[in-house]
Amino acid sequence: MDIATLVGIVSAFALVLSAIIMGGGLGMFINIPSMLIVVGGTIGATMVNYPLRDVLSVIKVVKNVFFTKVWSTQEVVDRFVEFANKSRREGILALESEVPSLTDPFLVKGLQLTIDGMEPEAIRDILETEIEYLEERHKSGAEILTTMATFFPAMGMIGTLIGLVQMLRTMSDPSTIGPSMAVALLTTFYGAVAANLVCLPMAGKLKKRSQEEALVKEMIISGIVSVANGENPRVIEQKLHSFVPPSARKSRFE
């Protein structure tokens, strides 16, 4: 689990709720009609804007915000130096014994193609195509969350207009002014909170995750192609270190 995401969301909501409670109580900020307008309106508008399968996929995308774990770049370097050493000592087919212990499907696929004797450039083409579609899926998820962040405040404004219309039509009855004004203001509040504390931060985290995952997969491609070409482990390490910041580089040959 990504602790930063969890701590960020919990702390943001905790601080907002604390300020509300200190200012007079939580009950006055709970309004079911306002929630229905903001949440229902946003979901409906999103379903109009995107195919149903894409909207449903947001559930899986949100799960990735909390639970996706990306390899560290140093882990990738170390693993491919080991592969290169074993391949040079025992032959490329010896790497088949490494496949069952691997948990990354992308690495397994690349290594299996190498073991099967496919040409290095053909392996690169296949794996790079997979990265392109992976980035497209991630981009789609982040785009839906960004769109929802646009709809939430818009639905809040619609709720505000509804509340104002209700208030103005019943000005002769003072008892109705308070509930109507509550709907008018709370819908804007709900929309702003949902957009700025949930959707936009999650969209930003997904974009960052996508960049990190694409970088690691590019490293894997470079490592796979180098192993398939039978390059020296030291050379492979130097190649993969080009993906790593200088301050984080650790050589196994020093």
The Cα 254–Cα 233 span in angstroms is 13
**Amino acid occupying residue 16:** V
| Residue 245 pLDDT class (50, 70, 90 cuts) | confident
**What pLDDT shows up at residue 38?**
92
**pLDDT (0 to 100) of residue 134:** 81
Residue with the bigger pLDDT between 103 and 68: it is 103
Angle between helices 73-90 and 233-241 (to 10 degrees): 160
Instruction: Using the Cα atoms of residue 183, residue 185, residue 186 and residue 188 in order, give the sign of their dihedral.
Output: positive
Mean pLDDT, rounded, for 17-26: 82
Entry pTM:
0.77
Each residue of 95-122: pLDDT tens digit? Answer: 888 888 888 888 899 989 988 888 888 9
* Angle of helix 52-67 versus helix 41-49 axis, rounded to 10: 110
pLDDT top residue among 161 and 253: 161
Rounded Cα–Cα distance for residues 224 and 141 (Å): 29
pLDDT over threshold 80, residue 44? yes
